[in-house]
Amino acid sequence: GEDVEQSLFLSVREGDSSVINCTYTDSSSTYLYWYKQEPGAGLQLLTYIFSNMDMKQDQRLTVLLNKKDKHLSLRIADTQTGDSAIYFCAETSISGGYNKLIFGAGTRLAVHP
Amino acid sequence: NAGVTQTPKFQVLKTGQSMTLQCAQDMNHEYMSWYRQDPGMGLRLIHYSVGAGITDQGEVPNGYNVSRSTTEDFPLRLLSAAPSQTSVYFCASSSNRDRVYNEQFFGPGTRLTVL
């Protein structure tokens, strides 16, 4: 079945790079997503990657996709305290005409001075 | 646009009580869904709707009912609350124009405690 796995915690020093990893199971996922959840708020789409891409860069964010290993990573360069949040990886699964999102458990990123 | 709104933000219920969590969106999105978020488990899909009058079950539907009489509103009903339903509930909506790309827009959540 569909499953998305992430490590639960990551602690980094301000200014360092953060790398959040994710593995997924559905090889037919056409898009893979990273959502960000700040304390007390809902999820917001951070970035996404199309399955025929290996890498996508967006300012401080770099997404790497290894389709063979079904591995997705999110790198945040020059991590700031404002990046402290929970980051969710999500794959897509089409069921009954509906394009569902399957979320991982989320990685809590703590940024310390 | 207000986006996706949810009410209430917080709710405490006693076991056996019923209540309705409200969700509304003003983006004319066809798809709406309800998730629950529990520590260490990510978001799990409860119910979803692909348009007014059409709903279906997600991953964890037991104990919850939904209806979709308008495009804008998608309420979630707890018929007889149980402590296992203590969670944070998120409503989300998305457009069906691109059946492949699916950016979901989330509401701020309702934190529910069942005693």
- What's the pLDDT tens digit per position in A11-57? 999 999 999 999 998 777 778 999 999 988 899 999 999 888 899 99
Instruction: Walk along chain B (115 residues) and give the pLDDT tens digit of each residue.
Output: 789 999 999 999 999 999 999 999 999 999 999 999 998 788 999 999 989 999 999 989 999 999 999 999 999 999 999 999 999 999 999 986 666 677 899 999 999 999 9
pLDDT of the residue at B96:
66
- Closest residue on chain A to B9 (Cα): A40
- Closest partner residue to A105 among B41, B92, B99, by Cβ? B41
| DSSP 3-state percent helix, strand, coil across chain A (nearest 5) | 5, 60, 35
pLDDT of the residue at A60:
96
pLDDT of the residue at B107:
95
**A87 close to A35: Cβ distance less than 8 angstroms:** yes
pLDDT of the residue at A17:
97
Q: How far is residue B71's CA from residue B24's CA, in Å, rounded to a whole number?
A: 9
Closest by CA position to A15, among listed A74, A46, A60: A60
**A64 close to A75: Cβ distance less than 8 angstroms:** yes
The reply to whether residue B50 touches residue A4, judged by beta carbons under 8 angstroms, is: no
- Closest partner residue to A42 among B45, B100, B108, by Cβ? B108
Kind and range of the H or E run holding A103: strand A98-103
**A111 close to A14: Cβ distance less than 8 angstroms:** yes
Closest by CA position to B14, among listed B85, B94, B98, B91: B85
Number of CB pairs, chain A paired with chain B, less than 8 A apart? 60
The reply to whether residue A48 touches residue B101, judged by beta carbons under 8 angstroms, is: yes
Q: How far is residue B70's CA from residue B10's CA, in Å, rounded to a whole number?
A: 25
Mean pLDDT (whole number) for A78-104: 87
The reply to whether residue B109 touches residue A42, judged by beta carbons under 8 angstroms, is: yes
The reply to whether residue A105 touches residue B102, judged by beta carbons under 8 angstroms, is: no
Interface probe, candidates A52, A98, A103, chain B, greatest B C-beta count within 10 A: A98
Mean pLDDT (whole number) for A54-76: 95
Mean pLDDT (whole number) for A57-73: 94
Q: Which residues in chain B have Cβ-Cβ distances shorter than 8 Å to A8?
A: 40
